[in-house]
Structure 1
């Protein structure tokens, strides 16, 4: 089959610009390649030369100092951008599969954008760890050009009566939003750090933890990808393969994870709650409100990760059902019927009816599910341990100010009393460990009783099995929620 950027059928009519340059879809796609080529051409020499180790102005022993504003938001938007670009590549390949000649402009710009997106986040990470923000001007120019060219493409789709029923129109709109948000993140970095367009740039001091040679637990300081994959622990894993690691190899904890820091946070929450409540309102509820004020945000974050992981669990059966249904129809090749700008456009239904697309979506859904599940476990366990350390410190501090003979008639020492009361702190710690399970099961049960989700299962199995599973989940949810409602404030009295 002939290979060309705009195709070779109709005597190369795709190269004509009689009705205007921007009204030619192939030319607009070629215009969208320019920003990605610019970024690759600018950043590759900088990355390969290795300027980071030479130009760093802040000398710290870790290369994980994250200090640019909007860091996590940038990584999240980049992951979303990569996913949308993968969908655009797949949509272009499906559209190109039914043409007489190869139209590279349907998927090659998206492929270049995918490479540029990966390069941008690698480039940003090296700039951030080397503390040389002036080189971010390349990303500012790239996001601006990408946003402008993608907006032109979106407007031209709208002018040619291409609407939301076509997947390419929806993907282009999403790309406009993502590039615009990344541009806003870059502008916010300039506003906060003032590395360009300002006479006096803002200096940022490194965190105390990264200046301490004894701190080797870098989870709070690494980038979002390393947090999700624990890539920063490779040094510990390699050391553990050679010999058992001890506390000296692990090092000290960061300041935010130490017992004294969490004790001060808990005391501040108790003091704030005591000022709000009157004498009649103080009690178990006030204690729980103080605990939620001190550690509730992390618990909500863990629960959110768990709910997202449970919701992604439904993607597997749905994708497998679609794949089996597609293969059961003798794997027929669909023929897109809609044609604009000289090429075929794929609808969302046709896109999700392809077995290969569903296989990729299944892989990504399972990957995200395990990532969210692991993140939920980590946040819940870390929060529970911090809570136990804070409460034990508070109890120990209180007991040290009391007379042992008054507490137990002289029969127990202060250490024995601390060990006895520590049992309650362990129970609270385990409550925080298991708290995300309280609403993970009801959310799963609610989605499991949703007819659109049960319809494929009802076809593959039978409706009685689905109803039996939903009823079992409902009963289990009730038994699971009962232990979590018990209040145990004795350790604070």
Structure 2
């Protein structure tokens, strides 16, 4: 079986664009590859060089940082996006099985989109760690391009009578929605951090706990994936297997989790309740 992006049966009629480029399914899939190639081309040098994680603005001793607006939502949407992209890749493989030659356009864009999705969340994590939001401009452009390409593809499916009864139509609609939501999250970061289109960007300092070398409990500060899997504790668990641990190794709790902090909160709540009760009794 020969290899071709658009297939080579019927004398390569798949490459015919007399009806317009956007009306040719293969060329439309090729256009959908552009955003993912753009993201990989832009972000890989930054990730490999390590500029995002070694910014001169980083003055913390831990490999964690503050969270941008919509942090948890971005991670959840990315997980869903990766799952839908796996479904799109599987659908393309199954559809290709009914063709005489290989049609790479049926599943290659999904494979590249999956790689780009993983790259986007790794890139975002590095930008968040370095607290250098201006580098998120690459992600903003990527979400815009991906959303536009999926919208065009969804519209063309509708125009040619491909409806909800076909899996590729539903998958394309879901991807269009997810890219749109991720774009909205990115715009929300711009509005919150004001790192572009504003004369006075918002400067956000890291939590005080991250400045303290004695604080080892980082659960409140790590990303959503690390919170769910306790990945940040790997080093601590490895050390515990090698030698007995003591209080110095365990370190201090963050300020918000210390006994004094909780005592102050509890006492304030108690005093408020006591005052409200005395006020109620005096009124009666």
Report the TM-score, using the length of structure 1 for normalisation.
0.55
In structure 2, stretches of 5+ residues that fail to align are: none
Identify the residue that residue 28 of structure 2 maps to in structure 1: 28
Identify the residue that residue 204 of structure 2 maps to in structure 1: 204
Is the Cα contact below 8 Å between 2:7 and 2:103 reproduced in 1?
A: yes
Q: How does 1:385-404 map to 2 (within 5 A)?
A: none
Distance 1:213 1:160, change over 3 A: same
Q: Following TM superposition, by how much is the alpha carbon of 1:269 offset from its aligned partner in structure 2, in angstroms?
A: 4.4
Is the Cα contact below 8 Å between 2:39 and 2:142 reproduced in 1?
A: yes
Q: Secondary structure of the equivalent of 1:176?
A: helix
Q: Distance in 2 between matches of 1:244 and 1:98?
A: 61
1:178 has 2:178 as partner: yes
Q: Following TM superposition, by how much is the alpha carbon of 1:274 offset from its aligned partner in structure 2, in angstroms?
A: 5.7
Distance 1:274 1:87, change over 3 A: farther
Q: Distance in 2 between matches of 1:214 and 1:5?
A: 56
Q: Distance in 2 between matches of 1:85 and 1:268?
A: 50
Q: Following TM superposition, by how much is the alpha carbon of 1:262 offset from its aligned partner in structure 2, in angstroms?
A: 2.6
In structure 1, stretches of 5+ residues that fail to align are: 282-493
Q: How many residue pairs align between the two structures? A: 281
Higher relative contact order (CA 8 A, sep 6+): 2
Query: What are the superposed Cα offsets for residues 88-117 of structure 1, whole Å, 9 maximum, x if unpaired?
Result: 101111111121111111110000000000
Q: How does 1:175-254 map to 2 (within 5 A)?
A: 175-254=175-254
Identify the residue that residue 93 of structure 2 maps to in structure 1: 93
Q: Secondary structure of the equivalent of 2:62?
A: coil
Kindly report structure 1 stretches of 4+ aligned residues shifted beyond 2 Å.
Answer: 52-56, 259-281
Query: What are the superposed Cα offsets for residues 433-492 of structure 1, whole Å, 9 maximum, x if unpaired?
Result: xxxxxxxxxxxxxxxxxxxxxxxxxxxxxxxxxxxxxxxxxxxxxxxxxxxxxxxxxxxx
Identify the residue that residue 17 of structure 1 maps to in structure 2: 17
Q: Following TM superposition, by how much is the alpha carbon of 1:270 offset from its aligned partner in structure 2, in angstroms?
A: 4.6
Is the Cα contact below 8 Å between 2:53 and 2:129 reproduced in 1?
A: no
Query: What are the superposed Cα offsets for residues 19-50 of structure 1, whole Å, 9 maximum, x if unpaired?
Result: 22111111111000000000001111111112
Q: Distance in 1 between matches of 2:33 and 2:179?
A: 14
Q: How does 1:85-124 map to 2 (within 5 A)?
A: 85-124=85-124
Q: Secondary structure of the equivalent of 2:66?
A: coil
Distance 1:53 1:123, change over 3 A: closer
Is the Cα contact below 8 Å between 1:66 and 1:223 reproduced in 2?
A: no
Is the Cα contact below 8 Å between 1:56 and 1:132 reproduced in 2?
A: no
Q: Secondary structure of the equivalent of 1:61?
A: coil
Q: Distance in 1 between matches of 2:63 and 2:97?
A: 46
Distance 1:53 1:18, change over 3 A: closer
Q: How does 1:419-430 map to 2 (within 5 A)?
A: none
Identify the residue that residue 66 of structure 2 maps to in structure 1: 66
Q: Distance in 1 between matches of 2:262 and 2:11?
A: 73
Distance 1:254 1:14, change over 3 A: same
Distance 1:268 1:175, change over 3 A: farther
Q: Distance in 2 between matches of 1:142 and 1:127?
A: 15
Identify the residue that residue 155 of structure 2 maps to in structure 1: 155
Report the TM-score, using the length of structure 2 for normalisation.
0.93
Q: Following TM superposition, by how much is the alpha carbon of 1:271 offset from its aligned partner in structure 2, in angstroms?
A: 5.2
Q: Following TM superposition, by how much is the alpha carbon of 1:272 offset from its aligned partner in structure 2, in angstroms?
A: 5.4
Query: What are the superposed Cα offsets for residues 324-359 of structure 1, whole Å, 9 maximum, x if unpaired?
Result: xxxxxxxxxxxxxxxxxxxxxxxxxxxxxxxxxxxx
Query: What are the superposed Cα offsets for residues 283-325 of structure 1, whole Å, 9 maximum, x if unpaired?
Result: xxxxxxxxxxxxxxxxxxxxxxxxxxxxxxxxxxxxxxxxxxx
Query: What are the superposed Cα offsets for residues 139-183 of structure 1, whole Å, 9 maximum, x if unpaired?
Result: 110010000001000111111111111111111111111101111
Is the Cα contact below 8 Å between 1:56 and 1:131 reproduced in 2?
A: no
Greater displacement, 79-88 / 235-244? 235-244
Is the Cα contact below 8 Å between 2:66 and 2:131 reproduced in 1?
A: no
Is the Cα contact below 8 Å between 1:217 and 1:252 reproduced in 2?
A: yes
Distance 1:217 1:16, change over 3 A: same
Q: Computing the radius of gyration over CA atoms, which structure comes out larger, 1 or 2?
A: 1
Q: Following TM superposition, by how much is the alpha carbon of 1:204 offset from its aligned partner in structure 2, in angstroms?
A: 0.6
Q: Distance in 2 between matches of 1:271 and 1:168?
A: 60
Identify the residue that residue 141 of structure 2 maps to in structure 1: 141
